[in-house]
Amino acid sequence: MSSRQRTVLVVDDSAFTRRLVSDILSASGEFRVIGTARNGLDALKQIHALDPEIVTLDIEMPELDGLQTLGYIMSETPRPVVMLSALDSPNGGELTIRALELGAVEFVHKPTGGVSNAAEALGNRLIEALRTASCVNLRGVRMLARPTLVERDRAGGASGAATHAVVIAASTGGPRALAEVIPHLSADLDAAVLVVQHMPAGFTASLAERLHAMSRLTVTEARHGDRIEHGRVYIAPGGMHMRVIDVNGMPLIALDQTPPIWGVRPSADPLFRSAAQRFGSSLIGVVLTGMGRDGAEGLRAVRDHGGYGIVQDRETSIVYGMPHVALTTAGADRILPLATIAAEIMSRVPQRVAQITSE
């Protein structure tokens, strides 16, 4: 971390929140608040006048709301944006996922409860989010600001126990990356897709709903005991590790709240390892954009069991932490730009089906 202070514009319609965020950032010594704004219109004026390096942006505001403001920022003056969201507000989770798709690099859940606890509840998470924002690949943010939507035209075929699977790990920039991968998988995909996206409890349900609306496949937040079936996508719930278990030959999902791994829960490593043991060479492991090293050991397990490893490339990763560590730890069969990963998955699954059929 550089000793130079990053400049920040704080945008929120609440005077209390503006002061709270400003005090937290100023006290950190890492960031310098160069202005505040009470709504989106005010924010855009100050961005042009002050040119802050990072913006913290409230999602729900009068006149010009957070999503509209974010759209203007990413199209006119792109820079890292951290959203402040209230999960307990109407559509709070859905709006947060939309913001991440549109270009926000991180979000922080506004604390509820008394004023005395607000600073403590918000402080560490906010500083962590701005540290992440300080090291994002802005080129990747600009490239992925507008996800492609597809028509909902799902096949009505019967589901069955999956014999092939795809496991995906993602963190910072992941919701936008997943919106570029999951909707481009075909409705007749003969594999199950299991996803770990680092997110707090409550937001993963909104992520699953959003991806479901964009995709030909059925996308759900995973539940303990779910059958793992082909043509379905399972999102690990926030705050829960997700593993694959085998019960009488049927692959099932197991969820637990064992301690965080690499500081996160859900962690991709338990999913990747358990899926590798169950599916072996019929497994594809994918590590997408994100901070940290989660997924690296898991991808090594996938490849050690004969599975196929895909790592997102540096240029299209919002943060090249997880893909880089996965590549150095496990290697990869393919290093790909985000836009080609869905096609690579589709090309691998039919080949595996054909091989099994011919035996």
Question: For residue 323, is the peptide bond before it cis, meaning its omega torsion is within 30 degrees of 0?
Answer: no
Q: Is the four-CA dihedral 112, 13, 120, 115 of positive or negative sign? A: negative
Identify whether the C-beta of residue 36 lies closer than 8 Å to the C-beta of residue 61: no
Identify whether the C-beta of residue 237 lies closer than 8 Å to the C-beta of residue 205: yes
Candidates 56, 292, 70; CA nearest to 171 is 292
Partnered with residue 88 across adjacent β-strands are: none
Identify whether the C-beta of residue 289 lies closer than 8 Å to the C-beta of residue 140: yes
- 72 φ, ψ (degrees, to nearest 5): -65, -45
* Beta strand segments in 288-342, E: 308-312, 334-336
| CA gap 117, 336 in Å, rounded | 44
Per-residue tokens: 298: 């898991």
Active-site residue set: 171, 198, 294
Candidates 216, 226, 206, 142; CA nearest to 184 is 216
* Beta strand segments in 38-111, E: 54-58, 81-85, 106-109
> To 10 degrees, the CA torsion angle through 78, 79, 84, 89?
10
Partnered with residue 192 across adjacent β-strands are: 165
Per-residue tokens: 17: 């929140």
Give the single-character DSSP code of 290: B
